[in-house]
Structure 1
Amino acid sequence: MSRRASVATAEILVDPTVSRAKFERELVEYRKLETEHQRRGWWILKAEFPEVFTVFAAPQLRPSPVVFGALLDFTNYDLWPPSVQVVDPFTREPYSGHNLPVPFLRRVPQAAVMSEEQPNDGRIPVQQLMQFHQPDQVPFLCLPGVREYHQHPAHTGDLWLLHRNRGEGTLFFILDKLYTYGVAPLGYNLGYRITDVPE
């Protein structure tokens, strides 16, 4: 099933007028700092209820690459959190787990990993925020405030309604997390190789 088909067949549980008003409020909040967001490399290319399509670039690099796109679906917002897919910025096709353009890594807090059975070998423990069970599956952003996170069987005890009024699941929250873990850590590691030596 395509992304568009899944949006079209989603059960409507919230009056679309209410969801649209909340969607518009999210866009107004984003636009208040839009110039700053653009400096960080976040470009909303299309925002038409219920979807927002954003492209992320890495302005800290020269030349500055376009890294990935994100498609957010605000259907039934905010009874449901937004759905998030990392997509090809040119085709809007979702990436599968094996072809994500960046790893989306987050440091695991030391307190969460320290135990007597786990000696500290000096490595920094990390967690992949884009989760998938098979490499050909479309991964989901494993954070509270994202629909796929709250629908996943491993998170059934972490209800969205417990997070709804804490800022998680807002447009800014999600775009900021995608930037923080997908773009901000990027740097070039260039090496030069001579491919041809002129006479």
Structure 2
Amino acid sequence: MLEALSRGAFDRELALLDARLIARRGWTVLTAQFPVLDVVFNHNSRVPVRLRFTCDGWDDQPPAIEILMADGQHIPSRREPGSPYEYVFTGGMSIFNSGPHEQHTRPFICMRGSRDYHNHSSHRADHWDNYRGQSGNGLLGLLEQLWRVWKRAADQ
């Protein structure tokens, strides 16, 4: 039954995902089917970045958000010399954290609303319940926040 509630909440939110917004933002939506929202952020002069939201338990728990290359491989950290993904982690854009995360040792999203943020030892006291249901903290609001930060980094 909990899965049915999660699926319903997921589907209601993604029904609001507008094709015009997707085109204006330069997104490619690869999957928008419970429990996964998989979106590529495209840019004219930077390698694209793909974010995969896994929303099992939505919205009792925040989504797990993976930072990926467009082909689905995990993004390398900025510590790899010459990485075309280094821009993602620069310019004070610390929500795209080069990691490693203490639970999976990869780069991660360090922002309220991301499972990695709320599960990290430095943020465990900052509970998802403090934010869920608030304006801007739905799936599309989280996606938009991440796109804005990514866009600033990509445009530098």
In the superposition, the TM-score normalised over structure 2's length comes to 0.82
1:22 matched residue in structure 2: 9
Q: For 1:9-158, what aligned pairs fall within 5 Å after superposition?
A: 15-31=2-18, 34-58=19-43, 61=44, 67-90=48-71, 92-98=72-78, 101=85, 102-105=87-90, 126-131=92-97, 132-133=99-100, 137-158=105-126
Highest CA radius of gyration, 1 or 2?
A: 1
Confirm or deny: 8 A CA contact 1:81 1:169 kept in the other structure.
no
C-alpha spacing 1:156/1:168, structure 2 compared with 1 (3 Å): farther
Query: Shift of the alpha carbon at 1:18?
Result: 0.5
What one-letter code is carried by the residue in structure 1 that aligns with 2:95?
L
Question: Is the Cα contact below 8 Å between 1:105 and 1:129 reproduced in 2?
Answer: no
Q: 1:151 to 1:144 in 2, by over 3 A?
A: same
Deviation at 1:103, TM superposition (A): 2.5
Q: Which runs of 5+ in 1 are unaligned?
A: 1-13, 107-125, 189-199
Give per-residue Cα distances to partners, 1:30-69, cap 9 Å, x unaligned. Answer: 23xx3123211122121121111101112xx4xx655111
| CA deviation after TM superposition for structure 1 residue 175, in Å | 1.6
C-alpha contact (below 8 Å) 1:144/1:168 kept by paired residues: no
Q: Which of 181, 190, 193 matches 2:149? A: 181
Distance 1:151 1:168, change over 3 A: farther
Aligned pairs, number: 148
Distance, in Å, in 2 between the alignment partners of 1:104 and 1:180 is 14
Once the two structures are aligned, what percentage of the paired residues are identical? 25
For 1:19, the aligned partner's letter is: S
Question: CA RMSD, aligned part only?
Answer: 2.4
